[in-house]
Amino acid sequence: MKVGIVGAGMVGSAAGYALALRGGASEIVLIDHNEKLAIAQAEDIAHAVPFAHACVVGAGGYEELEGAGVVILAAGVAQKPGESRLSLLSRNAEVFSEVIAQVRRNAPDAILLIASNPVDIMTEVALRASGLPRERVIGSGTILDTARFRSLLGTHLGIAPQSVHAYVLGEHGDSEVLAWSAARAGSEPIARFAVQVGAPITGEIRERIDAGVRRAAYRIIEGKGATWYGIGAGLARIVQAIRDDQRTVLSVSIVTPEVEGVQDVALSLPRIVGRAGILTTLMPELAEGEAAALRASAELLKETGAGLR
């Protein structure tokens, strides 16, 4: 499958690199309004191909997107000094409308995979600008937060993260909700499993894991200015679920008709991902506090999205 990537900065190029290493695409096209950057990133990634899987990596204009099955949108502009978050958001929304018109013209059948932040709001913007059905405009959402949650739980329990089923819901950001009450290890509720393996989840452990998930991006940004490898790999994982019609359950963001009483808001829930995009959304059974936190997260996103219109 041909995969387009618009925005060949750190996130876009990391997604391309991860796709090349995983064998997630037969062809990768990088597009950026900084053409030199797109060409350089494509050449650099292409040099990894002999050590990985067959894949043609190139850069070009939007016409090169013809036949793409997925187009990743990782374009964005940087915050100007003193600029408000909302002003930055509306500039990014403008970039998206321009980019999406071009993508739709050249790759009308492509699923859009949104990576630009704030990803939930940009997913809503992309849906509106594209006119596509909601299940074909997918934001990376909390895919990475969920991976981190599973990994920290796995480490605590001494088991593989693949045997932990736990999701981070809502906004990809401060208001996200760790769905502890729905978490399972094997087929057991997480607390019962933890007691059986002699590693009970105390309040302190819970707080540590919560902070480990919630503060991860802040810690990385403090050390290196931005994050890109983790999200690049997450994007490649979503592409593969689509390409191979894997029907994998992943926590990703789409505009959702109703969540905890809030209508038409983009946020993350566990969803079945396959060739047609999002096939089904699952609503985990939540404790009262978690449901309230998810409602608050949805309301916050709804408000921010409305501020843009």
Q: Which is nearer to ligand ADP, 15 or 166 (CB)?
A: 15
Least separation in angstroms between CB 25 and ligand ADP: 18
Binding positions for ligand ADP, rule: CB under 6 A? 6-12, 32-34, 37, 74-78, 95, 98-99, 226, 228
172 a catalytic residue: yes
User: Which residue number places its CB atom closest to ligand ADP?
Assistant: 9
Least distance in angstroms from the C-beta of 94 to ligand ADP: 8
Q: CB under 8 Å to 267, separation ≥6 — which residues?
A: 120, 141, 169, 170, 171, 253, 256, 259, 297, 298, 301
The answer to whether 280 is annotated as binding is no
Q: DSSP label at 48? A: T
Min dist. Cβ of residue 64 to ligand ADP (A): 13
With vertex at residue 247, the alpha carbon angle to CA 66 and CA 118, rounded to the nearest 5 degrees, is 65
- The H or E element containing residue 85 is helix 85-106
Q: In what order do the strands lie in the sheet with 277-281?
A: 56-59, 27-31, 2-6, 70-73, 111-114, 137-139, 248-259, 262-274, 277-281
Residue bearing tokens 């997450």: 234
Its sign, for the CA torsion 144, 272, 238, 71, is negative
Cβ proximity to ligand ADP: between 65 and 99 the closer is 99
Cα separation of 70 and 131, whole Å?
Answer: 16
Whether 140 has a binding-site annotation, put simply, is: yes
Place of tokens 């959402």: 141
Q: Which is nearer to ligand ADP, 211 or 226 (CB)?
A: 226
Smallest gap from residue 229 Cβ to ligand ADP (A): 11
Rounded to whole angstroms, the Cα distance separating 288 from 291 reads 5
Q: Between 13 and 142, whose beta carbon lies closer to ligand ADP?
A: 13
Short-list 11, 54, 51, CA closest to 32: 11
Task: Determine the residue type at 267.
Answer: L
Which three-class secondary structure state does DSSP give residue 225? coil
Residue 165 assigned to a binding site: yes
| Residue 85 or 192 with smaller CB distance to ligand ADP | 85
Find the shortest distance in angstroms from Cβ 112 to ligand ADP. 14
Under a CB-based contact definition with an 8 Å cutoff, are residues 69 and 242 in contact?
A: yes
Catalytic residues: 172
